Amino acid sequence: MNAGGRILRADKLGKWYGNVLGLSDVSIEIGPGIAGLLGPNGAGKSTFMKLITGQLRPSIGTVTIAGQAVWNNPGLFRNIGFCPEQDAFYEETTGREFLSGLLSLSGFSTAEVKERAARALEFVELAADADRLIRGYSRGMRQRLKIAQAVAHEPEILILDEPLNGLDPLSKRKVIRLIKEYRTEGRTVLVSSHVLPEIEALTKSIVLVHQGKILAQGDIHYIRDLIDAHPHVVAVKTDDVRALAAIFVGQPDVLSLRFDESEGLVVFETRNRDRLFERLMKVASGDRPAVEEITSPDDNLQSVFDYLIGK
Amino acid sequence: MKLSPFLSVFRFSARLVRRSRRARLLAAVSLLPVVLAIALQITRAAVPGRPLEGLDVFSNVVMGFSLQFLVLLLSLFFGTSIVADEVDNKTLTYPATRPVSRATFILGKYAAAVSFLLVLVLASTILSFLILMIDRLSYGTAWAFLGRSLAALSFATVCYTALFTMAGTFLRKSILFGLVFCFGWENVVQYFPGTTQKFTIMHYLKSLLPGLQAGAGGTDNAGMLKFLLFRHEPTSVPVAVLTLVILTAAFLALACFLFSRKEYLFDE
Amino acid sequence: MAIAERGYTHWTGTLGTGRRPWRVIAGQAVRLAWKRKFFKPIFFFSLLPALVFSAGIYVSERIQDFQEMLKGADKFLKINPEYFQAYYGSNFLFFMMLIIMVGSGAGLIADDLRHNALPLYFSRPLRKRDYIGGKFAALAFFLLLLTLAPGILFLFLKLIFSGSFAFLADYPWLPFSFIGWSVFLSSFFSLYTLLLSSLGRNRRFASILILGAYFVSDVVFAILFGIFRDPAFTLFSLQMNMRQASAVFLGVKPPQHVSGFYSILILAAIMAVALLVLRKKIRGTEVIR
């Protein structure tokens, strides 16, 4: 499949549930690589996921994959794998039977079904439990099985709806590793989550959703820089907070600063973070005051999100 | 060799149906005619001279029970479950995100359900027949009777399951609809005189049964069971078969159409 | 001042006295049933026979006023235990009670099993009897509204319209019969429904079982009675057993020539089996093999 075939595109997409707005005026394009779709519960992430996987019909606008409309187009799913959010299985089947049954729906021959199922189970480290009934699986195993059914037919586009829900930290690391392994060779992976650090661990390319609307899309640092309304926060650990504060208090691009002598911390707010860093490096290269640590506490997804939703 | 999607759905669904506990329980219910047949034969043997004709008992008791009750109940449960189970269990996402059209999916599941039901119903009927006719198996007419009875039951299974499959695609309370239809409409209107009874599926099914013409068949002992034949004004067999085939096709076509276009929202 | 953020903390005080957790469960089940779209019309439709019989009591005291309309019908308006048995033993009443059980009771335990709610229930200070009692009470509430409430109304109307206590003097056991039969019938239907609801995790399957078992028993009776003409086969049919039992409670002749006490025994046995099965099925942990 060429790169064009791996593009998810939504154009003025909207979805209503009766009078309740699920998604409004969403226009985005997601190409090869991992993209994180994030927002709080009820933001519209699952609605978007269901629209791009053809489970819901758009109220207005279009959603296409490889240039084709998704709704009522089962042929597209040869190259799409979807891991749903809900914990639902055919409980009376084994993991292997579950995978094999779904693989056979994709049109593979019996031999291929067997081979692909084995490979997928190996990929998610479920080979040892493949012949146990799903009703006996733990939460982590069930989540991995969901991922297995999404990747078993090696789709070019992988869509994962809250894949880390309910997992313990060890399982989360395993799944994150699996997702990162999968994005090789130019595949498109879209992962949704409401837990921002999880998305940060996976990708820098994000789509922020809130109350049915897209707040921002792109590289997280780039988005952060674009938020001109909110100054950047830079925290500096030093042995002489007053001396450091005195150096910067007169600078025009420093909007405000505060210091805490007990913690040895000076916190700057600036609209020109690069200029501030330049000056800090000059101070750090000198003897006094000693600069021990420089951090940007708000250069993360949570802060970006909070700024965008107006917190 | 690549399996066609329909066959894949059929095989997967058949496995799920066979494995479910509910199916096993309902399979036990389908053996009720066999139990009755055994009980009647034992009673007959214990009290010799009781004038109970095996074919009369089969036609009125077994067929009456199977056609008027068992097939309806089984078709109702399995037919409505085709879509309802996938929605209730939230597993519809999986087949919906495979390269299989929804119409193929629902037809494959329907075929699996009908196959299972046919095995249950026909096996139970054949066993009952063999038990009741154990001393008359050389009678050719009896076998012909069995053949047509099995045909009627097969059509009943196929047609009712198609109807309830269709109902299950768009009605949330499809069971309620099914119960009202079976025990309300079908059980009452089939006894209406004139053309009205032709508005029931049961009318055409009863028209396929040999020897079950109004007022004919049955012995005095089966007097209370002649309700099956009461006021039945049979349609000719070819017309009955054609009507049942058309109805089945229409129900399935509507089911495919509705299932392909409906959005299913899971309860969160 | 240090601010301590606290999540869940274990209650170290004493629990309140006079706790009745079953009432909470019952109340919630009643409210949920009442909220269902078709439940209200079905319930009020089930009260129709009670209205008709109540009107009958009124008409019986005013026969002369309705003479023209009721030519020949006055013998059916003789208010005696047979009159009330016609209500309490009617197939329509049983059928509507069954429909109400399907509407309000099919998912009572099945839904809890499906959503794995039993561990949640039993992580509270709740005993099995509280859980079963609560579910039972929810169903019995609706059934008593169809049985005991009309019975009280019938007696009240009879006393009011006749203007004397002569009726009670003639049939002093009748109020106790109404109470006894209402409680017995409601208990039977409630336990029967809970038993079948506990057999699976699927409400639809439970609905089919509730109706199927009822009708299968009747069909078996019809077949066997039709062939052998032996009234003993009455005991196969739930419906016939209930009619027989209602006759015993109301002190009238049972419709079939077989003792109504056997029917009471059979219905009581079903209730006992239901309790045994429920005790086994309702547990806080699920064993997965």
- Residues B183 and B190: their CA atoms lie apart, in Å, by 11
Is C222 in Cβ contact with B183 (below 8 Å)?
Answer: no
Q: Which two tokens stand for residue A31?
A: 């190409």
Length of chain B: 268
- Sign of torsion over alpha carbons A190, A196, A201, A207: positive
Q: What is the pLDDT of residue B211?
A: 61
- Beta-carbon pairs below 8 A across chains B and C: 63
**At residue A266, what are phi and psi to the nearest 5 degrees?**
-120, 130
Could you read off the pLDDT of C130-162 as tens digits, one per residue?
999 999 999 999 999 999 999 999 999 988 888
Choice among A296-305, B30-39, B176-185, C154-163 with the minimum mean pLDDT: A296-305
pLDDT confidence band for B232 (50 / 70 / 90) = confident
pLDDT confidence band for A95 (50 / 70 / 90) = very high
Of A82, A93, A106, the CB nearest to B99: A106
pLDDT confidence band for B213 (50 / 70 / 90) = very low
Could you read off the pLDDT of B131-141 as tens digits, one per residue?
988 887 777 77
> Is the CB of residue C220 less than 8 Å away from at least one CB of chain B?
yes
Of B29, B64, B221, the CB nearest to C212: B29
CA–CA distances in Å: residue C165 to residues C26, C55, C57, C161, C172: 37, 19, 15, 11, 10
> Is the CB of residue A139 less than 8 Å away from at least one CB of chain C?
no
Choice among B210-224, C27-41, C130-144 with the minimum mean pLDDT: B210-224
Give yes or no for residue B41 having a pLDDT over 60: yes
Cis peptide before C49 (omega within 30 of 0): no
Q: Nearest-CA distance from C287 to chain A in Å?
A: 10
Q: Nearest-CA distance from C214 to chain B in Å?
A: 12
- Residues A212 and C257: their CA atoms lie apart, in Å, by 71
Q: What is the pLDDT of residue C76?
A: 66
Nearest alpha-carbon partner for C250 in C181, C151, C166: C181
Q: What is the pLDDT of residue A47?
A: 92
> Is the CB of residue B266 less than 8 Å away from at least one CB of chain A?
yes
How many other CB atoms are found less than 10 A from the CB of residue C9?
6
C79 CA to centre of own chain: 24
- Residues B109 and B12: their CA atoms lie apart, in Å, by 9
> Is the CB of residue C200 less than 8 Å away from at least one CB of chain B?
yes
Of C205, C212, C226, the CB nearest to B225: C226
Give yes or no for residue A293 having a pLDDT over 70: yes
The rounded mean pLDDT for chain B is 85
- Give the helix/strand (H/E) hosting C142: helix C128-162
The rounded mean pLDDT for chain A is 86
Give yes or no for residue A269 having a pLDDT over 70: yes
Give yes or no for residue C43 having a pLDDT over 80: yes
Q: Which two tokens stand for residue C249?
A: 């409670």
Q: What percent of chain C has pLDDT over 90?
A: 44
Give yes or no for residue A261 having a pLDDT over 50: yes
Q: How large is the average pLDDT for residues C113-119?
A: 88
Q: By the 8 A CB rule, do A150 and A77 touch?
A: no
Contacts (Cβ under 8 Å, ≥6 apart) of C118: C112, C282, C283, C284, C286
- Residues A189 and A199: their CA atoms lie apart, in Å, by 12
Which position has the token pair 């059934």? Answer: C143
For testing contact with chain B, the best of C94, C95, C202, C204 (most B CBs within 10 A)? C204
Please give the DSSP secondary-structure letter assigned to residue A245.
Answer: H
Could you read off the pLDDT of C62-109 as tens digits, one per residue?
777 766 666 666 666 788 898 999 999 998 899 999 989 988 899 999
Instruction: Nearest chain B residue to C39 by CA: give it.
Output: B176
Which chains share 3+ C-beta pairs under 8 angstroms with A? B, C
pLDDT confidence band for B202 (50 / 70 / 90) = very high
- Rounded (5°) CA angle C90-C96-C101: 130
Of C205, C226, C228, the CB nearest to B22: C205
Q: How large is the average pLDDT for residues A243-266?
A: 90
Give yes or no for residue C31 having a pLDDT over 80: yes
> Is the CB of residue C208 less than 8 Å away from at least one CB of chain B?
yes
Is C17 buried (19+), middle (13-18) or exposed (0-12) by CB count in 10 A? Answer: exposed
Which position has the token pair 């006393």? Answer: C159
Q: What is the DSSP string of A121-167?
A: HHHTT-GGGTTSBGGG--HHHHHHHHHHHHHTT--SEEEEESTTTT-
Is B225 in Cβ contact with C223 (below 8 Å)?
Answer: yes
B244 vs A271, residue with greater confidence: B244
Q: What is the pLDDT of residue C17?
A: 66
Where are the extended beta strands (E) located within chain A?
Answer: 8-17, 20-30, 33-38, 60-65, 68-69, 80-83, 157-161, 188-193, 205-210, 213-219, 232-238, 254-260, 265-270, 291-295
**At residue A218, what are phi and psi to the nearest 5 degrees?**
140, -160
Is C222 in Cβ contact with B36 (below 8 Å)?
Answer: no
Sequence ranges of the domains in chain C: 21-281
Choice among B98-102, B214-218, C205-209 with the minimum mean pLDDT: B214-218
Q: What is the pLDDT of residue A227?
A: 64
CA–CA distances in Å: residue C202 to residues A89, A130, B247, C133: 15, 27, 29, 21
- Give the helix/strand (H/E) hosting C48: helix C48-61
Q: Nearest-CA distance from B256 to chain C in Å?
A: 22
Which chain C residues are within 8 Å of B61, Cβ to Cβ?
Answer: 223, 226-227
pLDDT confidence band for A57 (50 / 70 / 90) = very high
Instruction: Nearest chain A residue to B96 by CA: give it.
Output: A55
A197 vs B203, residue with greater confidence: B203
Q: Which two tokens stand for residue A264?
A: 């040895």
Please give the DSSP secondary-structure letter assigned to residue C232.
Answer: G
Which position has the token pair 């997928």? Answer: A120
Which chain A residues are within 8 Å of C289, Cβ to Cβ?
Answer: 136
- Residues B112 and B120: their CA atoms lie apart, in Å, by 13
Which chain C residues are within 8 Å of B40, Cβ to Cβ?
Answer: 227
Choice among B120-129, C24-33, C177-186 with the minimum mean pLDDT: C24-33
- Rounded (5°) CA angle A53-A57-A59: 130
- Residues A87 and A106: their CA atoms lie apart, in Å, by 22
Q: Nearest-CA distance from A174 to chain B in Å?
A: 23
Q: Nearest-CA distance from A176 to chain B in Å?
A: 22
Supply the pTM of this predicted model.
0.81
Q: How large is the average pLDDT for residues A163-173?
A: 84
**At residue C3, what are phi and psi to the nearest 5 degrees?**
-105, 120
Choice among A182-186, B171-175, B184-188 with the minimum mean pLDDT: A182-186
ipTM of the complex: 0.82
SS3 assignment, position A209:
strand
Is B3 in Cβ contact with A101 (below 8 Å)?
Answer: no
Give yes or no for residue B97 having a pLDDT over 70: yes
Which chains share 3+ C-beta pairs under 8 angstroms with C? A, B
SS3 assignment, position C61:
helix
B49 vs A269, residue with greater confidence: A269
The rounded mean pLDDT for chain C is 86
Q: Which residues pair with A94 in a beta bridge?
A: A133
Q: How large is the average pLDDT for residues A156-167?
A: 89
A14 vs A253, residue with greater confidence: A14
Instruction: Nearest chain B residue to C111 by CA: give it.
Output: B88
Please give the DSSP secondary-structure letter assigned to residue A55.
Answer: S
- Residues C143 and C189: their CA atoms lie apart, in Å, by 8
For testing contact with chain B, the best of A73, A104, A165 (most B CBs within 10 A)? A104
Is A72 in Cβ contact with B261 (below 8 Å)?
Answer: yes
> Is the CB of residue C289 less than 8 Å away from at least one CB of chain A?
yes
Could you read off the pLDDT of C252-274 as tens digits, one per residue?
999 989 999 999 999 999 999 99
